[in-house]
Amino acid sequence: MIQRVRAILVTPNDGLLLIKRVRPGRDPYWVFPGGHVESDDSSLEAALDREIHEEIAGKAKILSLVHVLEDDEQQQQMFYLCEIAHWSFDDRTGDEFTEADRGEYALEEIPLTSEALSTLNLMPPETAGILRDAVAAGRLLCLPDLRVH
């Protein structure tokens, strides 16, 4: 099974850090920073730390695992709620940023409101819906931690 980790990054300004993707022949869409778990990652959280460093040159505080998404193609994505205070998109190091055929990547800080989130084509839709519902109910930081049994 292919595993990916993603970060729902909440900023000190009550914002959400997302990556806007622009690819030829496709409408723009937004994704949560993150990526593949590699064989030398010591844990899922270590993979998330590495991905956040590569993609936005940041260090996040992982609060909880709030959503796990599996698909028919043997892929599993884990979404972690995190707080982040410092980042530098200009200092990112991920290989994908140098591949011209992958399209454009832009880091955007979006207001963490239902109204702002509802205007985005945020992927994947299942996680976007959970996030919008939690923000609308004022319960984002109260989402259950799936790591706790």
Q: What number of CA atoms fall less than 13 Å from residue 20's CA on the CB side?
A: 12
40: Cα separation from own chain's centroid: 21
pTM of the predicted protein model: 0.92
Share of the chain above pLDDT 90, in %: 82
Hey, how many other C-beta atoms are within 10 angstroms of the C-beta on 55? 23
pLDDT digits (tens, 9 = 90+) for 58-105: 999 999 999 999 988 889 999 999 999 999 988 888 666 666 667 888
Average pLDDT over residues 29-37: 97
Q: What angle do CA 88, 89, 94 make, to 5 degrees?
A: 115
pLDDT digits (tens, 9 = 90+) for 3-22: 999 999 999 999 999 999 99
**pLDDT score at 95:** 67
**In contact, 17 and 90? CB cutoff 8 Å:** no
The helix (run of H) or strand (run of E) holding residue 82 is: strand 75-84
**In contact, 32 and 5? CB cutoff 8 Å:** no
Average pLDDT over residues 37-45: 97
31: Cα separation from own chain's centroid: 6
**In contact, 140 and 114? CB cutoff 8 Å:** no
Q: At residue 149, does pLDDT exceed 60?
A: no
**pLDDT score at 97:** 60
Q: Please name each of the domains of the chain with its CATH number.
A: 2-142 (3.90.79.10)
**In contact, 113 and 19? CB cutoff 8 Å:** no
